[in-house]
Structure 1
């Protein structure tokens, strides 16, 4: 059985990803601030670099062979440029960008050292393509897309594929943070006239991790209901 690390495992999307991956034969090791009902979970603060390093070391000790990483955890506060605080901006950037980069680095080094073919999937956002109200969130996701492309190119020769999915709004707590009339207007502007269900995004992630996506790296799948 292949082992995969999943951040944000306790959220609505994380639970759906864990369940889908388990259905596809993966052993899922979750990371979150609270325990996920769907998988084993290590409680790690992704805004803390030392905690990430210590946590990954513990995972590697228990699972010497890691085959996949899904950087799913994200901070979305839904605040405008004139409302977000310095600390909130730092937390958003730390969790949405620095943590995926650090985890990807630790994961890739281990996979290369053990000569293990592996895959990384980053959960970006339509906001990284088309910035919305929360510009700090949008900036973090745009940078995550560029990180995906860069790592995809640089790690391809080591047998490590790196791809991303850029969802539109997903039903759940993050969608609930979009205040009206913005929420209704966004739904109306989406050609499919609805938000994504978590399982729909989890299916894309499972595909990107699978052998069916064997020639994809540095790619970004825009699962946004037809926004573009």
Structure 2
């Protein structure tokens, strides 16, 4: 059977724990085909972000056109968008979609789990003006919700830490929003998709809770234990 398609619009993570690496691994684990649009290249490890190189808006636009003109994208999910221009570019492209527009899951990544700030006032303003109005779901964590001024949005889902106690949690927000997008692509309603995404993240945190990878906040697992695949 041909799988549904989910597109991530996000940044790379050279350490493999978050960003596009986490998104594509989660998509594969949950049975959807993952496409990607790179908004920035980061030099990143478990201790922090060393450098960010934003991709020019015209290249972001070209990637969006390449995917959306060719593949039947069911859901678009966002991660680090890097610049206000990328936010506007994505919003404009989605608004111009002919036929049924893909569902939009916005993970407003304002701060990395390592503490780095990834979006200032201009980015927040761009989210509020251009992306939130067309988002089907917005998935901030508590800190991001506060930074956004606690907006009133019908699809707002505040992600919270689970019962698994571990510092191997780098990439949990990306993994959650990607799992949510995957379940939506399979046809689940929002409540069912949200519950399934939370259960998936909890399962993966259990897998990685005792890992020793890196010298900072280790990654949430993107390996799937034998017999645990959906």
**TM-score (norm: length of structure 2):** 0.49
| Greater helix proportion | 1
Structure showing greater relative contact order (alpha-carbon pairs closer than 8 Å, 6 or more residues apart): 2
